[in-house]
Protein backbone atom coordinates (compact mmCIF):
# COMPACT_ATOMS: atom_id res chain seq x y z
CA UNK A 1 0.00 0.00 0.00
CA UNK A 2 0.99 3.58 -0.48
CA UNK A 3 0.64 6.24 2.20
CA UNK A 4 0.85 10.02 2.37
CA UNK A 5 2.19 11.01 5.76
CA UNK A 6 2.18 14.47 7.25
CA UNK A 7 3.58 15.18 10.66
CA UNK A 8 3.74 18.63 12.11
CA UNK A 9 5.24 19.33 15.51
CA UNK A 10 5.47 22.57 17.42
CA UNK A 11 7.78 23.15 20.36
CA UNK A 12 8.01 26.00 22.79
CA UNK A 13 11.65 25.97 23.86
CA UNK A 14 12.24 27.60 27.25
CA UNK A 15 16.00 27.01 27.52
CA UNK A 16 18.40 25.88 24.81
CA UNK A 17 17.54 22.29 24.09
CA UNK A 18 19.17 19.43 22.25
CA UNK A 19 16.45 17.54 20.41
CA UNK A 20 16.75 14.07 18.96
CA UNK A 21 14.00 13.56 16.46
CA UNK A 22 12.90 10.16 15.26
CA UNK A 23 9.87 10.73 13.01
CA UNK A 24 11.27 9.79 9.59
CA UNK A 25 9.95 6.53 8.20
CA UNK A 26 12.35 3.61 7.99
CA UNK A 27 13.76 3.03 4.53
CA UNK A 28 13.89 -0.56 3.46
CA UNK A 29 13.08 -3.02 0.69
CA UNK A 30 9.69 -3.58 2.24
CA UNK A 31 9.10 0.08 2.98
CA UNK A 32 10.18 2.36 0.15
CA UNK A 33 10.28 6.10 0.61
CA UNK A 34 8.91 7.50 -2.63
CA UNK A 35 9.54 11.07 -1.59
CA UNK A 36 9.95 12.90 1.66
CA UNK A 37 10.85 16.25 3.13
CA UNK A 38 11.79 17.48 6.56
CA UNK A 39 11.36 21.19 7.22
CA UNK A 40 13.29 22.37 10.25
CA UNK A 41 12.99 25.75 11.92
CA UNK A 42 14.74 28.49 9.96
CA UNK A 43 18.46 28.54 10.58
CA UNK A 44 18.53 25.21 12.40
CA UNK A 45 20.84 22.55 11.05
CA UNK A 46 20.54 18.94 11.97
CA UNK A 47 22.81 15.95 12.10
CA UNK A 48 21.38 12.72 10.73
CA UNK A 49 22.13 9.18 11.83
CA UNK A 50 20.80 5.86 10.64
CA UNK A 51 21.33 2.91 12.97
CA UNK A 52 22.75 0.16 10.77
CA UNK A 53 21.22 -2.74 12.69
CA UNK A 54 17.68 -1.36 12.84
CA UNK A 55 17.25 1.30 10.20
CA UNK A 56 16.08 3.81 12.82
CA UNK A 57 16.68 7.34 11.57
CA UNK A 58 17.65 10.01 14.06
CA UNK A 59 18.04 13.73 13.55
CA UNK A 60 19.82 15.77 16.22
CA UNK A 61 19.54 19.53 16.48
CA UNK A 62 20.04 22.29 19.02
CA UNK A 63 17.05 24.58 19.42
CA UNK A 64 17.37 28.07 20.91
CA UNK A 65 14.68 29.68 23.05
CA UNK A 66 11.54 30.33 21.03
CA UNK A 67 8.72 28.62 19.18
CA UNK A 68 9.75 26.09 16.56
CA UNK A 69 7.89 24.11 13.94
CA UNK A 70 9.07 20.88 12.42
CA UNK A 71 7.24 19.39 9.48
CA UNK A 72 7.86 15.96 8.04
CA UNK A 73 6.05 14.80 4.90
CA UNK A 74 6.52 11.58 3.04
CA UNK A 75 5.00 9.24 0.55
CA UNK A 76 5.82 5.67 1.45
CA UNK A 77 5.04 2.39 -0.23
CA UNK A 78 5.06 -0.73 1.88
CA UNK A 79 5.24 -4.25 0.59
CA UNK A 80 4.69 -6.45 3.61
CA UNK A 81 5.58 -10.09 3.70
CA UNK A 82 2.32 -11.90 4.30
CA UNK A 83 2.05 -15.43 5.62
CA UNK A 84 -0.63 -17.74 6.89
CA UNK A 85 -0.48 -17.61 10.67
CA UNK A 86 -0.18 -21.38 10.92
CA UNK A 87 3.06 -21.20 8.98
CA UNK A 88 4.73 -18.88 11.49
CA UNK A 89 6.15 -20.92 14.38
CA UNK A 90 8.20 -19.78 17.34
CA UNK A 91 11.95 -20.22 17.02
CA UNK A 92 13.66 -22.19 19.82
CA UNK A 93 16.19 -20.12 21.76
CA UNK A 94 18.88 -22.51 20.56
CA UNK A 95 18.17 -21.40 16.97
CA UNK A 96 17.62 -17.67 17.41
CA UNK A 97 20.10 -15.36 15.71
CA UNK A 98 22.40 -13.91 18.37
CA UNK A 99 21.39 -10.40 17.31
CA UNK A 100 17.85 -11.15 18.36
CA UNK A 101 18.65 -12.41 21.86
CA UNK A 102 18.66 -9.00 23.62
CA UNK A 103 14.97 -8.76 22.77
CA UNK A 104 14.37 -11.63 25.18
CA UNK A 105 15.66 -9.61 28.14
CA UNK A 106 13.58 -7.36 30.39
CA UNK A 107 13.76 -3.63 29.72
CA UNK A 108 12.62 -0.49 31.55
CA UNK A 109 8.99 -0.69 30.51
CA UNK A 110 8.82 -4.42 29.83
CA UNK A 111 9.89 -6.22 33.03
CA UNK A 112 9.33 -9.69 31.62
CA UNK A 113 11.09 -11.24 34.62
CA UNK A 114 8.15 -10.23 36.81
CA UNK A 115 5.21 -11.53 34.80
CA UNK A 116 6.57 -14.94 33.82
CA UNK A 117 4.42 -17.08 36.06
CA UNK A 118 1.24 -15.46 34.76
CA UNK A 119 2.38 -15.63 31.14
CA UNK A 120 3.16 -19.34 31.31
CA UNK A 121 -0.06 -20.14 33.09
CA UNK A 122 -2.19 -18.13 30.68
CA UNK A 123 -0.45 -18.70 27.35
CA UNK A 124 1.92 -21.59 27.98
CA UNK A 125 -0.28 -24.24 26.40
CA UNK A 126 -1.16 -22.37 23.24
CA UNK A 127 0.33 -23.81 20.10
CA UNK A 128 3.61 -22.08 19.60
CA UNK A 129 4.18 -19.06 17.38
CA UNK A 130 1.92 -16.50 15.79
CA UNK A 131 -1.20 -17.91 17.46
CA UNK A 132 0.45 -17.54 20.83
CA UNK A 133 1.22 -13.87 20.30
CA UNK A 134 -2.28 -13.36 18.93
CA UNK A 135 -3.62 -14.95 22.10
CA UNK A 136 -1.55 -12.42 24.04
CA UNK A 137 -3.04 -9.57 22.01
CA UNK A 138 -6.56 -10.91 22.49
CA UNK A 139 -6.06 -11.21 26.22
CA UNK A 140 -4.77 -7.64 26.43
CA UNK A 141 -7.63 -6.36 24.31
CA UNK A 142 -10.17 -8.09 26.53
CA UNK A 143 -8.59 -7.26 29.87
CA UNK A 144 -7.11 -3.79 29.50
CA UNK A 145 -9.16 -0.66 28.79
CA UNK A 146 -7.87 1.88 26.30
CA UNK A 147 -8.19 5.15 28.21
CA UNK A 148 -6.41 8.31 27.07
CA UNK A 149 -4.47 9.91 29.87
CA UNK A 150 -4.53 6.82 32.08
CA UNK A 151 -0.76 6.37 32.02
CA UNK A 152 2.37 8.49 31.85
CA UNK A 153 6.05 8.28 31.07
CA UNK A 154 6.82 6.16 34.10
CA UNK A 155 4.14 3.53 33.49
CA UNK A 156 5.57 0.05 32.93
CA UNK A 157 3.84 -3.09 31.70
CA UNK A 158 3.84 -4.19 35.32
CA UNK A 159 1.70 -1.18 36.20
CA UNK A 160 -0.56 -1.73 33.22
CA UNK A 161 -1.05 -5.38 34.13
CA UNK A 162 -2.27 -4.32 37.54
CA UNK A 163 -4.17 -1.20 36.64
CA UNK A 164 -5.81 -2.67 33.53
CA UNK A 165 -5.88 0.58 31.56
CA UNK A 166 -3.49 2.35 29.22
CA UNK A 167 -2.81 3.71 25.74
CA UNK A 168 -1.17 2.18 22.66
CA UNK A 169 2.30 2.40 24.12
CA UNK A 170 1.18 0.51 27.23
CA UNK A 171 -0.60 -2.13 25.17
CA UNK A 172 2.60 -2.67 23.18
CA UNK A 173 4.72 -2.84 26.34
CA UNK A 174 2.46 -5.47 27.87
CA UNK A 175 2.47 -7.56 24.69
CA UNK A 176 6.26 -7.40 24.52
CA UNK A 177 6.54 -8.35 28.18
CA UNK A 178 4.38 -11.46 27.85
CA UNK A 179 6.13 -12.55 24.66
CA UNK A 180 9.59 -12.24 26.20
CA UNK A 181 8.46 -14.05 29.33
CA UNK A 182 7.47 -16.94 27.05
CA UNK A 183 10.83 -17.01 25.28
CA UNK A 184 9.65 -15.11 22.18
CA UNK A 185 11.82 -12.10 21.27
CA UNK A 186 9.74 -8.94 21.02
CA UNK A 187 10.39 -5.27 20.38
CA UNK A 188 8.63 -1.93 20.37
CA UNK A 189 7.63 -0.26 17.09
CA UNK A 190 6.73 3.39 16.73
CA UNK A 191 4.68 3.90 13.59
CA UNK A 192 2.38 5.88 11.39
CA UNK A 193 -0.96 4.15 11.02
CA UNK A 194 -3.71 4.58 8.45
CA UNK A 195 -7.26 4.91 9.79
CA UNK A 196 -6.12 5.56 13.33
CA UNK A 197 -8.70 7.58 15.21
CA UNK A 198 -7.90 10.07 16.60
CA UNK A 199 -4.85 10.48 14.35
CA UNK A 200 -1.57 10.41 16.20
CA UNK A 201 1.67 8.50 16.31
CA UNK A 202 0.97 4.85 16.96
CA UNK A 203 2.82 2.19 18.91
CA UNK A 204 2.68 -1.51 18.09
CA UNK A 205 5.13 -4.34 18.59
CA UNK A 206 6.97 -7.03 16.69
CA UNK A 207 7.64 -10.60 17.73
CA UNK A 208 10.40 -12.67 16.17
CA UNK A 209 8.73 -15.74 14.68
CA UNK A 210 9.56 -18.07 11.82
CA UNK A 211 12.74 -16.17 11.08
CA UNK A 212 11.21 -12.67 10.81
CA UNK A 213 9.79 -9.87 12.89
CA UNK A 214 5.97 -9.92 12.67
CA UNK A 215 3.76 -6.99 13.58
CA UNK A 216 1.12 -7.11 16.32
CA UNK A 217 -1.26 -4.54 17.77
CA UNK A 218 -3.08 -5.40 20.97
CA UNK A 219 -5.17 -2.23 20.69
CA UNK A 220 -6.79 -3.48 17.45
CA UNK A 221 -6.85 0.14 16.32
CA UNK A 222 -5.20 -0.59 13.02
CA UNK A 223 -4.86 -3.41 10.52
CA UNK A 224 -1.24 -4.55 10.38
CA UNK A 225 -0.94 -3.93 6.63
CA UNK A 226 -1.65 -0.22 7.19
CA UNK A 227 1.46 0.41 9.29
CA UNK A 228 4.49 2.48 8.30
CA UNK A 229 7.37 1.82 10.64
CA UNK A 230 9.34 4.69 12.15
CA UNK A 231 11.61 3.00 14.66
CA UNK A 232 12.13 -0.21 16.60
CA UNK A 233 13.68 -0.62 20.03
CA UNK A 234 13.57 -2.51 23.27
CA UNK A 235 10.70 -0.34 24.47
CA UNK A 236 9.49 3.26 24.32
CA UNK A 237 12.65 4.49 26.05
CA UNK A 238 14.58 3.36 23.00
CA UNK A 239 12.15 4.50 20.32
CA UNK A 240 10.65 7.80 21.37
CA UNK A 241 9.65 9.99 18.41
CA UNK A 242 11.43 12.77 20.24
CA UNK A 243 13.95 12.81 23.08
CA UNK A 244 15.21 16.11 24.41
CA UNK A 245 17.74 17.45 26.83
CA UNK A 246 16.90 20.94 27.94
CA UNK A 247 13.53 22.52 28.60
CA UNK A 248 10.57 22.70 26.29
CA UNK A 249 6.84 22.27 26.19
CA UNK A 250 4.79 20.64 23.55
CA UNK A 251 4.31 19.41 21.08
CA UNK A 252 0.94 20.25 19.77
CA UNK A 253 1.16 17.81 16.95
CA UNK A 254 -0.83 17.10 13.84
CA UNK A 255 -0.39 13.74 12.22
CA UNK A 256 -2.28 12.68 9.13
CA UNK A 257 -1.91 9.48 7.18
CA UNK A 258 -3.84 8.95 3.96
CA UNK A 259 -3.81 6.16 1.44
CA UNK A 260 -2.38 7.42 -1.87
CA UNK A 261 -2.84 4.46 -4.17
CA UNK A 262 -6.10 3.39 -5.67
CA UNK A 263 -6.60 0.41 -3.42
CA UNK A 264 -10.19 -0.11 -2.39
CA UNK A 265 -10.95 -0.39 1.28
CA UNK A 266 -10.25 -3.94 2.37
CA UNK A 267 -11.05 -5.94 5.46
CA UNK A 268 -8.55 -6.07 8.23
CA UNK A 269 -5.96 -8.68 7.53
CA UNK A 270 -6.08 -11.96 9.40
CA UNK A 271 -2.67 -12.95 8.08
CA UNK A 272 0.74 -12.64 9.61
CA UNK A 273 2.26 -9.37 8.44
CA UNK A 274 5.94 -8.47 8.47
CA UNK A 275 7.77 -5.36 7.33
CA UNK A 276 11.19 -6.64 8.38
CA UNK A 277 13.98 -7.49 5.98
- Contacts with a second copy, residue ranges (CB under 8 A): 18, 20, 49, 51, 58, 60, 62, 92-94, 98, 101-102, 105-108, 110-111, 113-115, 117-118, 121, 143, 145, 153-154, 158, 161-165, 183, 234, 237-238, 243, 245
| Closest to a second copy by CB, 113 or 261 | 113
| Closest to a second copy by CB, 140 or 222 | 140
| Closest to a second copy by CB, 43 or 92 | 92
Give the dihedral sign, CA 158/268/123/88: negative
Report CA Rg, the chain: 18
Nearest distance from C-beta of residue 52 to a second copy, angstroms: 9
Decide: 5 and 228 in contact? Cβ < 8 Å: yes
| Closest to a second copy by CB, 41 or 106 | 106
Nearest distance from C-beta of residue 218 to a second copy, angstroms: 16
| Closest to a second copy by CB, 117 or 258 | 117
Q: Give the span between the Cα atoms of 226 and 194, in whole angstroms.
A: 5
Decide: 75 and 34 in contact? Cβ < 8 Å: yes
Residue 119 phi/psi, 5° resolution?
A: -60, -45
| CA distances from residue 153 to 165, 198, 223, 246 in whole angstroms, order as listed | 14, 20, 26, 17
How many CA atoms lie within 13 Å of 108's alpha carbon, on the beta-carbon side? 11
Nearest distance from C-beta of residue 72 to a second copy, angstroms: 19
With a CB cutoff of 8 Å and minimum separation 6, the contacts of 262 are none
Binning the chain into helix, strand and coil, the percentages to the nearest 5 are 20, 40, 40
Nearest distance from C-beta of residue 180 to a second copy, angstroms: 10
| Closest to a second copy by CB, 92 or 198 | 92
DSSP-derived 3-state class of residue 68: strand
- Measuring CA to CA, which residue among 206, 106, 200 is closest to residue 156? 106
| Closest to a second copy by CB, 2 or 108 | 108
Nearest distance from C-beta of residue 272 to a second copy, angstroms: 24
Nearest distance from C-beta of residue 79 to a second copy, angstroms: 28
Nearest distance from C-beta of residue 108 to a second copy, angstroms: 4
Amino acid sequence: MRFLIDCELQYEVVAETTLILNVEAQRDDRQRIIRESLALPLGITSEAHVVPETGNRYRRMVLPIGTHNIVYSAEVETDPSIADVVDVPAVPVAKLPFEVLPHLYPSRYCPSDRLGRFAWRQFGNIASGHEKVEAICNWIHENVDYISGSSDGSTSAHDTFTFRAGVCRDFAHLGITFARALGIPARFVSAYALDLFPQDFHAVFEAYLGGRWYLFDATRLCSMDRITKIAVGRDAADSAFVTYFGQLTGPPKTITVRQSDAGAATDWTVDAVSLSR
